Structure 1
Amino acid sequence: MRKGLFITVEGTDGSGKTTQIKLMEEFLKSAGNEVVLSREPGGTQISEMIRDLILDPKNTDISPLTEMMLYAAARAQHVFQVIKPALDSGKCVICDRFVDSSFAYQGCGRGVDLKTVADVNRAAVDGIVPDITFFLDIDPHLAIQRRIKTTGADRIEQEKMDFHTRVYEGYRKMALLYPDRIKTIDASKSIEEISSQIKLYLTEII
Structure 2
Amino acid sequence: MTAPLITLEGIEGVGKSTHLAGVQQYLQRCGVSVVTTREPGGPPLSEAVRGLLLSTDYPAMHADTELLLMFAARAEHLRHTIEPLRAQGTWVLCDRFTDSTYAYQGGGRGIPLARIQTLEDWVQGPLRPDLTLWLDAEVSTALQRTQKRAAADRFEQETLAFFARVQAAYQQRAHAEPHRIIRIDANLPLAQVQAQIISCLSQRFPALA
TMscore range, shorter length: over 0.9
TM superposition score normalised by structure 1: 0.96
Structure 1 residue aligned with 2:188: 189
1:99 aligns with 2:125: no
- Give structure 1 stretches of 5+ with no counterpart: none
CA distance in 1, matches of 2:69, 2:52: 9
Please list the CA deviations of residues 20-51 of structure 1 after superposition, one character each: whole Å capped at 9, or x if unmatched: 11110010001110011000000110000000
User: What is the aligned partner in structure 2 of residue 149 from structure 1?
Assistant: 148
1:23-42 correspondence runs (5 A): 23-42=22-41
Segments ≥4 residues shifted beyond 4 Å? none
1:105 counterpart letter in structure 2:
Y
* 1-structure distance, mates of 2:89, 2:204: 14
Q: Which runs of 5+ in 2 are unaligned?
A: none
- Root-mean-square deviation over aligned CA pairs: 1.1
Whole-Å separation in 2 of the counterparts to 1:110 and 1:88: 35
Q: How far 1:201 sits from its partner (Å)?
A: 1.4
Measure the CA separation in 1 of the matches of 2:52 and 2:139: 24
Q: Give the corresponding residue for 2:9.
A: 10
May I ask how many residue pairs the two structures share in their alignment?
A: 205
Deviation readout 1:81-117 (Å, 9 max, x if unpaired): 1001111111110000000000000001000111001
In 1, the alpha carbon distance for the partners of 2:2 and 2:169 equals 31
Contact 1:40–1:75 (Cα < 8 Å) also in 2: yes
Percent of residue pairs identical: 38
Q: Does the residue aligned with 1:162 lie in a helix, a strand or coil?
A: helix
Partner of 2:78: 79
Q: Secondary structure at the match of 1:112?
A: coil
Deviation of 1:204 (Å): 2.2
